[in-house]
Amino acid sequence: MLLITCPWCGARPELEFSYAGEAHIARPADPAAVSDADWTAYLHMRTNPKGPHRERWRHTHGCARFFNALRDTASDTILATYKAGDAPP
Amino acid sequence: MQRFSALSLLRHALGGHTGWQPQWRAPAPKQAYDALIIGGGGHGLATAYYLAKQHGLRNIAVLERGWIGGGNTGRNTTVIRSNYLFAESAALYDHAVRLWESLSQELNYNTMFSQRGVMMLAHNQHDVQVFKRHVHANRAAGVDNEWLTPQQAQAFCPPLAIGSELRYPVLGAALQRRGGVARHDTVAWGYARAADALGVDILQNCEVTAIDRDATGAVTGVQTTRGAIRAPKIGVVAAGHTSVVMAMAGVRLPLESYPLQALVSEPVKPVLPCVVMSNTIHAYVSQSDKGELVIGAGTDAYTSYTQRGALHIATHTLDAICELFPRFRRLRMLRNWGGIVDVTPDRSPILGRTPVPGLYVNCGWGTGGFKATPGSGHLFAWTMARDAPHPINAPFALDRFRDGATIDEAAAAAVAH
C-alpha cells in the first residue's frame, strides 16, 4: 500500500485516496471548434508512460480535495505531490 | 518437428527420454523479414502461427523482450468463456472458444483445455436482472448460457455456500457450460513450436528500442538489443507495454496499464469442479489440475508497470472467497503475483490498423485477454496479411473512439474476467 502525502493533510495510507488518472489534460475551451481528432485525443488518448507520470489523486476520505502527484510507474515511488493549479515539478 | 503421440511417448520412454529435440530453434536475427510481431506472448505467437499457416507468410519473426509466455500469458488465471453481452463481443470471444475446442489437435500439443463450466453468481436483484439479460442476449447470439437457481448452482458446485445468513446471498447464477480453463504455458509453447516448424523465427531476449519509418511515415523496421531488423509490416502485441512500444512510432493510444493480481493456494484434492465468478464481491476461483486453487483479484487503483500489487487488493478478494466457500478458510496461499494489463475506456480490445502505414496493433484486452488468445491471433494475422480487418474484428478498430462507436463492456461484462 502506498503512503501518499496530501499537500493539505500530510502523509496518509493509500486507502484514504482515489486515483483520478493523468493530470494536466485541459478541456478545450470551445469544444465545438476542435477537430474530431483533437476531441478524441482529449477524451481518450493517454500517455501511459513507464516512468515518471503526472497524475491526479483525490483525498476522498480526508479533506476530499484533488491534488497532483509525480509518481514513477516503474517503481511506484512518489517523487512529489503538489496542489492543483501549481506548476508541475 | 517431432510429433507427440502415445506411440512417440512410449518409444522415447523406452529410450530413457534422451531422444527429444528442443521444441523450437533459437535462431540469430536475420537482417530483414516480411513481417515482425513485437511481443512473444500467446497472442503474438498465435498471430505468427496463423500468418504462416493460413496466409503463407513464413519469412517472419516474433520479437520478445524476455522469454516467450513470460508476461500476462504466464500470469493470468486461465479462465475461458464467451458470455459477453454485446453481439460484437460475443462473436469475438466465441470465435476464440471455437478455436480452443480443437486447439490441442491443431497444434499437436495438449493445452489441457477443460470445458468444466463457468458459473457467475448473482447476489442481488440488480445482478439477477443483468445476468438474465446476459443469458437471453447470449442465446439470441448463438452462445450457450443458462440461468440456475441457487439450489441448481449448489448442485453444480457443491462447496458453494447459498445460505440466507451470507452478507451477499446467492440468488442465482448464469452458467456457460462451454467455458472452462486451459494450461496457460502450453498455449505459448504450443503456438511457438507449431510456428517454428513453419519457419517462423522466435527471437527471445530481443527488446525493441525504436521503430524506423521512411519519409512517407510508413514503417521500415525496428532497432533492437540484437541489432536492426528491416520489415515492411509490424504488428505490436505487447499487452501492458503497448503504450511504450507505440510511443516509439509516435502513436498515442486510449490505454492505461494497471497491475492485476492473482494468487494460488497450496494444492489439495479435487474440491471445486468448475470456475466460479462473482462480480459483485469481486472474486473468481477455479482449481488447477495440480490441485491449487487459482484465484483472481482485482486491479490496483492506479496505473503501474511494477508487476506486483498492493496486499489489500488480494486480501479483499480472499475475504470474498472465504465467505462463498467456508471450507477454503483453512487453506494457505502459496504465491501471489501481478501482471500489467492494458485497459481501454470501453474495456474492449483494439485490433486493427493504426494511422501509421504498415503498423498494426492488437491491444487493450485488459483483464481478460487469455481466453481470446487463439481468436485474437487468428484475426490479427488476417488483418496484417490483408491490410484489412476480418468482419469479426472490424468493430474493434481504433477509430471507434473517434466515431463514438464504443463497445462498452465496462458496465456490461462487469469487472471480473
What pLDDT, in 10s, does the model give residues B144-186? 999 999 999 999 999 999 988 888 899 999 999 999 999 999 9
| Chain B residues inside the 8 Å CB shell of A40 | 401-402
C-alpha A6/C-alpha B142 separation (Å) is 52
**Residue A1: pLDDT band with limits 50, 70, 90:** confident
Nearest to A40 among B243, B304, B402 (CB): B402
| Chain B residues inside the 8 Å CB shell of A22 | 256
B311 touches chain A (CB under 8 A): yes
Q: What is the pLDDT of residue B274?
A: 97
> Taking the CA atoms of chain A, what radius of gyration do you get in angstroms?
14
Chain-centroid distance of CA B270 in Å reads: 25
Q: What is the pLDDT of residue B203?
A: 98
Separation in Å, CA of A39 to nearest CA in chain B = 8
**Residue B411: pLDDT band with limits 50, 70, 90:** low
**Residue A80: pLDDT band with limits 50, 70, 90:** very high
ipTM of model over 0.85: yes
Separation in Å, CA of A76 to nearest CA in chain B = 7
- Answer whether B253 sits within 8 Å of A40, measured CB to CB: no
A1 to chain B: closest CA residue: B310
- Answer whether B306 sits within 8 Å of A40, measured CB to CB: no
**Residue B412: pLDDT band with limits 50, 70, 90:** low
B248 touches chain A (CB under 8 A): no
Separation in Å, CA of B312 to nearest CA in chain A = 7
Q: What is the pLDDT of residue B409?
A: 87
Chain A to chain B Cβ contacts (< 8 Å): 65
C-alpha B345/C-alpha B340 separation (Å) is 16
C-alpha B105/C-alpha B108 separation (Å) is 5
| % of chain B with per-residue pLDDT over 90 | 91
C-alpha B3/C-alpha B17 separation (Å) is 14
In three-state secondary structure terms, B49 is: helix
C-alpha B71/C-alpha A12 separation (Å) is 32
Residue ranges in B359-416 assigned as alpha helix (H): 373-386, 400-403, 409-412
Q: What is the pLDDT of residue B167?
A: 87
- Answer whether A37 sits within 8 Å of B402, measured CB to CB: yes
B406 touches chain A (CB under 8 A): no
Nearest to B311 among A1, A41, A47 (CB): A1
Nearest to A36 among B257, B305, B402 (CB): B402
Q: What is the pLDDT of residue B165?
A: 86
- Which residues fall within 8 angstroms of residue B347, CB to CB, at 6 or more apart? B366, B408, B409, B410, B413
Mean pLDDT of A77-81: 97
| Chain A residues inside the 8 Å CB shell of B252 | 41, 45-47
Is residue B311 exposed (0-12), middle (13-18) or buried (19+ Cβ within 10 Å)? exposed
pLDDT, chain A, mean: 96
pLDDT at B36 over 90: yes
- Rounded-to-5 percentages of helix, strand, coil across chain B: 35, 25, 45
In this prediction the pTM is 0.96
Q: What is the pLDDT of residue B416?
A: 44
Residues of chain A with a CB closer than 8 angstroms to some CB in chain B: 1-2, 14-15, 17-19, 21-22, 36-37, 40-41, 43-50, 53, 55, 71, 73-76
**Residue B417: pLDDT band with limits 50, 70, 90:** very low
pLDDT, chain B, mean: 95
Separation in Å, CA of B220 to nearest CA in chain A = 24
- Answer whether A74 sits within 8 Å of B305, measured CB to CB: yes
- Which residues fall within 8 angstroms of residue B370, CB to CB, at 6 or more apart? B42, B72, B73, B76, B77, B78, B79, B80, B184, B187
Separation in Å, CA of B252 to nearest CA in chain A = 6
A37 to chain B: closest CA residue: B402
Separation in Å, CA of A87 to nearest CA in chain B = 22
Query: Grid coordinates representing B37?
Result: 510481431
C-alpha B72/C-alpha A82 separation (Å) is 34
pLDDT digits (tens, 9 = 90+) for B262-280: 999 999 999 999 999 998 8
- Answer whether A41 sits within 8 Å of B252, measured CB to CB: yes
Mean pLDDT of B9-35: 95
pLDDT digits (tens, 9 = 90+) for B329-372: 999 999 999 999 999 999 999 999 999 999 999 999 999 999 99
B72: nearest Cα among B246, B301, B307, B256: B307
Strands (E) in B208-292, as ranges, are 208-213, 219-224, 227-230, 234-236, 256-265, 275-278, 283-287
Q: What is the pLDDT of residue B153?
A: 97
Mean pLDDT of B100-120: 97
- Answer whether B255 sits within 8 Å of A74, measured CB to CB: no
B355 to chain A: closest CA residue: A37
A50 to chain B: closest CA residue: B305
| Chain A residues inside the 8 Å CB shell of B302 | 2, 19, 55, 71
pLDDT digits (tens, 9 = 90+) for B73-91: 999 999 999 999 999 999 9
Residue B392 neighbours by CB distance under 10 Å: 18
B 316-375 residues with CB < 8 A to A? 342, 345
Mean pLDDT of B238-244: 97
